[in-house]
């Protein structure tokens, strides 16, 4: 497995992150995204749901929560250095990998024309012994993969996107799957971990008490073998590089 913070890209890349919820980009790969922005790459977000069920507050409503989380995501993206956020607006917790949503994501891919697409692993049901992966995470990964291949790059799929919207086929160079049980690439994010943490602080509705959150993040995200005094932080991916 490669361990690096150098992808050996010889040119600046356009990167599209397709994930389920507001806060997923920062939680899953915020350090990597911040690193890419610092390197001059262009990062876009596509969030499939509005996050309108992510609260245990009895006074919270789905409509109020979705609006709050949209604001939180905008602030977090600003910390990372991401300008463009596309919100598809589906209800949290209800995702199904059907043709309608696949077409929506194909539309985004053809509009943004990314070189690199980032999503999450649809096969990862059990990230650890204390957690069952949210079904939206897995479904978002499935939707993203189905949109990438074969649909986004083949004019036979959703031809109305060409005739009605002028969106011709587009094929990505690579797919990076975060939250994976089968990593083949490790990004050393020690240099951008504090940016990731600062961005996550903007998701106030999700993280709870900030000091306790920071302590948990610094402990659980620290690489095995590194110390509190000299920590190393990593994010892992299943990286798929398509043949040219």
At residue 6, the pLDDT reads 63
Task: Determine the pLDDT at residue 146.
Answer: 98
**What pLDDT, on a 0 to 100 scale, did the predictor assign at position 3?**
52
Buried b (16+ CB within 10 A) or exposed e, 73-98: beebbebbbbeebbbbebebeebebe
Cβ(106)–Cβ(31) below 8 Å: no
Tell me the CATH number at 103.
3.40.50.10320
Cα 130 to Cα 128: distance, rounded to the nearest angstrom:
5
149: which 2 tokens? 């291949």
Taking the chain (244 residues) in runs of 10, the rounded mean pLDDT of each run is 68 98 97 97 98 91 96 98 97 96 98 98 89 93 98 98 98 97 94 97 95 90 76 95 84
- Return d(Cα 29, Cα 189) in angstroms, integer: 9
pLDDT at 85: 98
Tally of structural domains, the chain: 1
**Residue 165 CB: number of other CB atoms within 10 A?**
12
Which residues form the domain of 8? 2-241
CA distance 95 to 38: 33
Who contacts 95 (Cβ-Cβ below 8 Å, separation ≥6)?
Answer: 20, 48, 49, 101, 135, 136, 139, 140, 143
Q: What token pair was written down for 198?
A: 């600062």
What per-residue confidence (pLDDT) applies to 213? 94
């Amino acid at each position: 497995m490669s361990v690096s913070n150098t992808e050996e890209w010889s040119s600046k890349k356009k990167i599209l992150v397709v994930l389920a919820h507001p806060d997923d980009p920062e939680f899953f790969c915020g350090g990597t995204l911040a690193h890419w922005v610092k390197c001059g790459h262009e990062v876009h977000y596509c969030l499939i749901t509005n996050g309108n069920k992510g609260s245990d507050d009895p006074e919270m409503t789905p409509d109020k929560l979705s609006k709050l989380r949209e604001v939180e995501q905008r602030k977090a993206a600003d910390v990372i250095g991401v300008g463009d956020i596309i919100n598809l607006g589906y209800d949290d917790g209800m995702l199904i990998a059907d043709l309608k949503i696949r077409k929506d994501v194909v539309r985004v891919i053809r509009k943004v024309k990314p070189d690199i697409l980032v999503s999450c692993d649809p096969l990862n049901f059990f990230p650890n012994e204390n957690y069952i992966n949210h079904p939206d995470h897995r479904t978002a990964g499935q939707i993203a993969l189905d949109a990438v291949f074969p649909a986004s790059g083949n004019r036979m799929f959703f031809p109305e996107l060409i005739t009605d919207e002028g969106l011709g086929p587009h094929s990505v160079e690579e797919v990076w799957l975060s939250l994976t049980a089968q990593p083949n690439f490790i990004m050393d994010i020690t240099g951008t971990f504090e940016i990731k943490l600062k961005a996550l602080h903007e998701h106030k509705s999700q993280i709870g008490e900030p000091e306790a959150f920071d302590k948990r993040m610094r402990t659980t995200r620290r690489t095995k073998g590194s110390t509190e005094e000299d920590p190393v932080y990593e994010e892992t991916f299943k990286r798929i590089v398509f043949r040219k």
